Amino acid sequence: MVVIQLDGTRTKVKPKCAGIYGIRHLASGQLYVGSAQSINLRWNIHIHHLRQGTHIARYLQHAFSKHGEDAFAFEVLEIVEGIDDLLAHEQVWLDRTQATDPKFGYNTRTVAASNRGHKHSAETLAKMRAVQKVVQSTPEARARVGLRSKGRVMSAEARLKLSVANRGRIITPEWRAAISAGLKGRKLSPEHIEKQRANMTGKIPAGFLDPRHVAETALKNTGRKNTPETRAQMSASALLRWQTNPNSAEHRAAIIAVGRSRAGTKASLETKAKMSEAQRKRGARERAERARLNTIAVLERFGLWD
- Res 165: pLDDT: 85
3-state helix, strand, coil in the chain (%, to 5): 55, 10, 35
Looking from the CA of 177 toward its CB, the CA atoms found within 13 Å total 3
Q: What is the pTM of this model?
A: 0.42
**pLDDT tens for residues 32-77?**
999 988 888 888 899 889 988 888 888 999 999 999 989 999 888 8
Q: How confident is the model at residue 30 (pLDDT cuts 50, 70, 90)?
A: very high
Q: Residue 228: what pLDDT?
A: 85
Q: What percent of the chain has pLDDT over 70?
A: 84
Predicted pLDDT of residue 283: 86
Distance CA 243, CA 114 (A): 68
Q: What is the pLDDT of residue 206?
A: 56
- pLDDT reported for residue 242: 66
73 - beta bridge partners?
Answer: 2, 24
Tell me the C-alpha distance between 245 and 231, whole Å: 21
Q: What average pLDDT does this structure show over 93-106? A: 91
Residue 31 pLDDT:
92
Give 187-231 pLDDT, tens digit per residue: 888 888 888 877 776 665 655 556 676 677 777 777 778 888 888
Going from N- to C-terminal start, the domains of the chain cover 2-97, 201-221+228-265, 267-306
Residues 202, 145: Cα–Cα separation, whole Å? 32
Worst-scoring range by mean pLDDT, 35-39, 101-105, 196-200, 241-245?
A: 241-245
CA 67 remoteness from chain centre: 33
For residues 263-291, give the mean pLDDT. Answer: 83
Query: Across residues 94-111, what is the average pLDDT?
Result: 89
Architecture of domain 2-97: 3-Layer(aba) Sandwich (3.40)
Which of these ranges, 106-110, 124-128, 134-138, has the smallest mean pLDDT? 134-138
Q: Is the pLDDT of residue 303 over 80?
A: no
Q: Inform me whether the pLDDT recorded for 258 exceeds 60.
A: yes
How far apart are the C-alpha atoms of 64 and 57, rounded to whole Å?
11
Tell me the CA end-to-end span of the chain in Å, nearest whole number.
77
Q: Which residues contact 94 (CB under 8 A, 6 or more apart)?
A: 33, 100, 107, 110, 112
pLDDT confidence bin for 287, thresholds 50/70/90: confident
Lowest mean pLDDT among 21-30, 37-46, 160-169, 260-269: 260-269
Asked if residues 36 and 81 have their Cβ atoms less than 8 Å apart, the reply is no
Instruction: Using pLDDT thresholds of 50, 70 and 90, give the confidence band for residue 140.
Output: confident
Compute the distance between CA of residue 264 and CA of residue 57 in angstroms, rounded to an integer: 70
pLDDT at residue number 209: 56
Give the pLDDT of residue 60: 93
16 phi/psi in degrees, rounded to 5: -95, 10
User: What local confidence, expressed as pLDDT, does residue 148 receive?
Assistant: 75
